[in-house]
Amino acid sequence: MKTTKKKRASASSQRERQRRGNAASMRRANSPAIGKTLTARQKRELAALASLPDDQIDTSDIPELPAGAWKDAVRGRFYRPVKQAVSLRLDADVVEWLRRPGKGYQTRANAVLRRHMLAELRKA
């Protein structure tokens, strides 16, 4: 008598690999504004507001801020510029100096270049 083994219905199958998405795709997927377009009425209202001079816009429903509200404000604190991949030829000793402290040499190079750029912009 020949017996054949049946596959068990409860046997587990190989798990599917989890897909990784980049942060931009996650922001797009979770953004409430995606897929919503303005109505013709909303567009007319925005155009009418945009055409008004600032002194004619009613801001009476907006409370005034106290004098010290901006004393600890920092401009650009959460600013994150768009990164662009580049190929750059640097002297070997410069690369070694950037890598010496450990991980993050490209971030350090960017910080050095940004400090120099901002100093140059302040001079102009």
Tell me, yes or no, whether 14 lies in a domain. Answer: no
Tell me, yes or no, whether 17 lies in a domain. Answer: no
> Whose CA is closest to 105, among 117, 116, 92?
92
pLDDT tens track for 10-60: 555 566 666 665 655 555 555 555 657 899 999 999 999 899 998 898 888
Count structural domains, the chain: 1
Q: How far apart are CA 100 and CA 96, in angstroms?
A: 6
Tell me, yes or no, whether 45 lies in a domain. Answer: no
Tell me, yes or no, whether 61 lies in a domain. Answer: no
Tokens 């004098």, located at residue: 67
Tell me, yes or no, whether 115 lies in a domain. Answer: yes
Q: What is the pTM of this model?
A: 0.41
Tell me, yes or no, whether 13 lies in a domain. Answer: no
Q: How far apart are CA 55 and CA 62, in angstroms?
A: 14
Q: How far apart are CA 37 and CA 24, in angstroms?
A: 20
The domain in which residue 93 lies consists of 89-124
